Structure 1
Amino acid sequence: MLEDLLTTLLYSDVGNPLNNGALLLFRVLLAVELFRVHGLRKFRPEAGAAAEVVPNPLGLPPALNQLVATFSDTVVPALVVLGVATRLAVLPTIGVTAIGYFVVHRHDALAVRDVPYIYTICFLLLLVLGPGTYSADHYLWAVLTAS
């Protein structure tokens, strides 16, 4: 049972080196863009404004809401680039981006809504496929199942 869980969480191979390389490139570019555009805003104010404060449509405690959003835009991209606990790591980002699409921007124009939509779809793809063989998850799975 534990091996089945580890396989589900850590094993990921999309068939051949080209596909695994494409998945590596996809997840690195996606994670870098998320961090560059959204993660850095949490720390670096733009044009003299305060650091970004994330909307709180679910009414969570403000500190928790900010923590989840900051984690999703800063720590998760690092984990995704490395391929560490990828399937688990993407869950907060999927939550934040899906809430952005379905709740925060539900009445906005499609041109505004498409950003959280695309992020949600991309991170859902990583949730389903995993990080591929060029990842820490792959090597961890190989070590854990070698015995």
Structure 2
Amino acid sequence: MQKLLFSTTEIAKDLALALLRIGGALMLLTHGWAKISDFTGYLAKFSDPIGLGPAVSLQLAIFAEFFCAILVAIGFLTRLSLIPMIITMLVAALIAHADDPFSSKEKSLLFLLVFIVLFLLGPGKYSVDAQIKKRNY
């Protein structure tokens, strides 16, 4: 019992990374797809947090929240795909919702935490990146 509670196997670490990747990428369903399917509705109310215009800002958010999220979910170009997702969550939490209460920032900060952890640890063994790396060595 002590071994189970105080040690971690490699398979558990890789499985945890896969679950974290897939869980974090669920953003594509609740945020990315919603913005794609109602683009004009979102455009009418989307802010311009980085000064590029609401249309460009919305397109960048869709790129990160939908397309990059798909790549993270399958573990392909994971660290590269996480960069736009991290930037998007930073902008959402610190600029777009800067004056809002913490409860409005909480979700973007939680996503940000997941994305930073994934960026630091990498995609794990159960990813397309790992399969590519395995073939190249």
TM-score > 0.5, shorter chain as reference: yes
- Structure 1, unmatched stretches of 5+, are 1-13
1:37-90 CA distances to partner (integer Å, 9 max, x unpaired)?
Answer: 101211233xxx943234221111444322211111111111011100100001
Aligned to 1:52: 42
CA distance in 2, matches of 1:104, 1:130: 28
Aligned to 1:7: none
Aligned to 2:83: 91
CA distance in 2, matches of 1:143, 1:77: 24
CA distance in 1, matches of 2:31, 2:77: 21
CA distance in 1, matches of 2:101, 2:55: 29
- Corresponding residue pairs, total: 128
Aligned to 1:64: 56
Change (3 A) 1:63 1:109: closer
On the 8 A contact 2:25/2:70 being kept in 1, the answer is yes
Higher helix share: 2
Change (3 A) 1:20 1:39: same
| 1:27-38 paired onto structure 2 within 5 Å | 27-32=21-26, 34-38=27-31
Percent same amino acid among aligned pairs?
27
- Structure 2, unmatched stretches of 5+, are 1-7
| 1:1-147 paired onto structure 2 within 5 Å | 16-32=10-26, 34-45=27-38, 50-53=40-43, 54-144=46-136, 146=137
Q: TM-score, normalised by structure 1?
A: 0.79
On the 8 A contact 1:72/1:92 being kept in 2, the answer is yes
Report the residue type matching 1:116 in the other structure: S
On the 8 A contact 2:49/2:57 being kept in 1, the answer is no
RMSD over aligned Cα atoms? 1.9
Report the residue type matching 2:68 in the other structure: V
1:107-130 CA distances to partner (integer Å, 9 max, x unpaired)?
Answer: 111111111111111111111011
